[in-house]
């Protein structure tokens, strides 16, 4: 009797949990659709249902809903004061990023060491201060697009367990001409007040615009404000800058950063790790991995991540097709084979993975004329 009651209780519990879980997709859908009314209703239902088993989570959800209702800032419940806004348009000047678990970026050993050094310094901040040494609190990342600057900034925030605010100087601050200096000041004020990480993405936007003859005065002032604010920023805050164009960056701003770290396109070992992470369970079952690694030499980490996503999608959609064939076909869409050796090799590889493939099929997959494919397949010197 008691036993059957327990089973009943457990079943009830599971039913309640299922009902609660059912709310999550509704909430996600409403959030994506900007449907604030449904977000509000579902959040309150969720908060109430979680009250008994997860009182802290329930309290936080209901607090956010209550803050929203009275027009207060929704970030109040994570101890972040309302975000700064432009005085006239009332547009928010920053994005608050709560830190979420992030896998480490795949970088060269040297860059990884530099990040680890920075993290270590931050963990020893008190020791540094006791010895009268100022710990570093700023770093600049530079490198071509897609090497992982933004991703690394998010990962750093996660490792340091600090909230991060992002300012895209190109699209926000500098578009409020006349008020940019004031806006920069507000952003720094906010950073200081909340002891958080300030991420200045595309920081070169200021230096770039300084060359713009039409508005030299305003932008010169802006750089001066930035320099002064960076100098005044206490070590409890962190400033991370990122740029794709280090050559355009104002040298004084550059010098103001404690560290500058160059992120490069991934070398062979890093590409291997990127494919291993990106292709997940399919990595070990693919025969063409070494070809993918060799031929992705000029790709950025972001390109390789994208390539892996394309390959995985194709694998799911074409269950009966060779995964190596699909992988190489996707690679061909993203990179061009320049030398004849490369073209010969890729044609032979496709033929080996799909023996009954037609010349036309190879031609369409690789983007090489059919006559050339036929010729390449006859080449004897291919090993
Ligand atoms: N070094 C890396 N390690 C792992 N993933 C990376 C790396 N670099 C880029 N990515 C992937 O590519 C995406 C875009 O990279 P991003 O950080 O925006 O590049 P950047 O800011 O340098 O232009 C990231 O969200 C991440 O998924
Ligand atoms: Mg970026």
Q: Is residue 189 part of a domain?
A: yes
Give the closest residue (by CA) to ligand 1 atom 9.
Answer: 148
What separation in Å is there between the alpha carbon of 330 and the centre of ligand 2? 25
Burial label, 375 (beta-carbon count in 10 A; 0-12, 13-18, 19+): middle
In the block, residue with structure tokens 């920081």: 203
Write out the H or E segment, with its range, that includes residue 243: strand 238-243
Residues 281 and 305 in one domain: yes
The count of structural domains within the chain is 3
Same domain, 111 and 233: yes
- DSSP code of residue 297: T
| Residue 78 included in any domain | no
Q: Do 280 and 245 share a structural domain?
A: no
Instruction: Give the phi and the psi of residue 336 in degrees, each rounded to 5.
Output: -100, 145
Residue 134 lies in a domain: yes
Residue 133 lies in a domain: yes
Residue among 168, 162, 157, 163 nearest 115 (CA)? 157
Name the percent of the chain in helix, strand, coil, to the closest 5: 60, 10, 30
311: tokens are 């390959």
User: Residues 360, 218: one domain?
Assistant: no
| 140 and 232, same domain (yes or no) | yes
Tell me what pLDDT residue 5 has: 42
Q: What is the token pair recorded at 11?
A: 């079943």
CA 261 to chain centre: 17
- Among residues 262, 296, 313, the one where a domain terminates is 262
User: Exposed, middle or buried: residue 133 (CB in 10 Å: 0-12, 13-18, 19+)?
Assistant: exposed
Does 250 lie in the same domain as 309?
no
Identify whether residues 151 and 253 lie together within a single domain. yes
pTM of the model: 0.79
Q: Residues 142, 157: one domain?
A: yes
pLDDT of residue 2: 42
Q: Is residue 383 included in any domain, yes or no?
A: no
Residues 67 and 114 in one domain: no
H helix count then E strand count, the chain: 17, 6
Residue 282 within any structural domain of the chain: yes
272 shares a domain with 258: no
Neighbours of ion ligand 2 (CB under 5 A): 149-150
In-domain check, residue 382: no
Q: Probe ligand 1: pick from 275, 279, 305, 312, max atoms within 8 Å of CB?
A: 305
C-alpha R_g of the chain: 27
pLDDT of residue 318: 94
Name every protein residue with a CB atom under 6 angstroms from any ligand 1 atom.
105-107, 145-151, 301-302, 305
pLDDT tens over the chain, length 383 residues: 444 444 454 555 555 565 788 899 999 999 988 888 899 899 999 999 898 888 888 888 988 888 887 777 677 666 566 788 888 888 888 888 888 889 999 999 999 999 999 999 999 998 998 899 989 999 999 999 999 999 999 999 999 999 999 986 766 666 676 778 888 888 999 999 888 999 999 888 776 655 555 556 777 788 888 899 999 999 999 999 999 999 888 888 999 999 999 999 999 999 999 999 999 999 999 999 999 999 999 899 999 999 999 999 999 999 989 999 999 999 998 888 888 888 898 899 888 888 889 999 999 888 889 999 999 998 755 55
Domain that holds residue 156: 95-262
At 147 the pLDDT is 97
Q: Note whether residue 87 is domain-resident.
A: no
What is the distance in A from the centroid of ligand 2 to the CA of 270? 19
Contacting residues for 122 by C-beta, under 8 A, at least 6 apart: 135, 137, 160, 238
Alpha carbon 249 to its chain's center: 23
Same domain, 122 and 257: yes
């Amino acid at each position: 009797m008691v036993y059957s009651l327990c089973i009943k209780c457990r079943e009830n519990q599971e039913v309640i949990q299922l009902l609660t879980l059912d709310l999550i997709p509704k909430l996600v859908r409403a959030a994506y659709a900007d449907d604030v009314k449904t977000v509000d209703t579902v959040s309150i239902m969720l908060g109430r249902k979680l009250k008994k088993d997860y009182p802290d989570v329930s309290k936080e959800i209901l607090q956010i809903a209550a803050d929203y209702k009275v027009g207060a800032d929704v970030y109040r419940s994570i101890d972040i004061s309302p975000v700064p806004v432009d005085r006239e348009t009332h547009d928010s000047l920053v994005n608050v990023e709560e830190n979420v678990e992030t896998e480490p970026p795949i970088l060269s050993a040297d860059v990884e060491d530099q990040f680890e050094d920075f993290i270590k310094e931050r963990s020893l901040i008190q020791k540094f201060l006791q010895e009268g040494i100022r710990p570093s609190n700023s770093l600049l990342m530079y490198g071509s697009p897609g090497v992982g600057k933004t991703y690394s900034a998010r990962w750093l925030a996660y490792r340091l367990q600090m909230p991060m605010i992002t300012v895209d100087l190109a699209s926000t601050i500098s578009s409020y001409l006349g008020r940019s200096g004031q806006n920069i000041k507000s952003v720094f004020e906010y950073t200081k007040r909340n002891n958080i990480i300030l991420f200045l993405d595309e920081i070169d936007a200021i230096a770039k615009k300084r060359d713009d003859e039409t508005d030299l005065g305003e932008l010169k002032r802006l750089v001066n404000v930035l320099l002064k604010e960076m100098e005044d920023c206490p070590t409890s805050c962190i400033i991370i800058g990122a740029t794709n164009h280090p050559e355009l960056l104002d040298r004084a701003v550059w010098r103001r950063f404690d560290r500058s770290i160059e992120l490069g396109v991934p070398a062979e070992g890093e590409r291997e790790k990127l494919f291993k992470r990106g292709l997940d369970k399919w990595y070990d079952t693919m025969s063409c991995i070494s070809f993918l690694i060799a031929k992705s030499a000029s790709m950025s980490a972001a390109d390789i991540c994208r390539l892996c996503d394309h390959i995985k999608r194709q694998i799911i959609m074409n269950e009966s097709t060779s995964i190596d064939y699909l992988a190489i076909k996707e690679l061909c869409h993203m990179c061009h084979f320049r030398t004849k050796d490369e073209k010969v090799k890729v044609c032979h590889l496709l033929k080996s993975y799909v023996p009954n493939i037609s010349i036309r099929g190879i031609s369409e997959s690789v983007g090489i004329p059919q006559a050339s494919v036929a010729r390449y397949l006859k080449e004897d010197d291919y090993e």
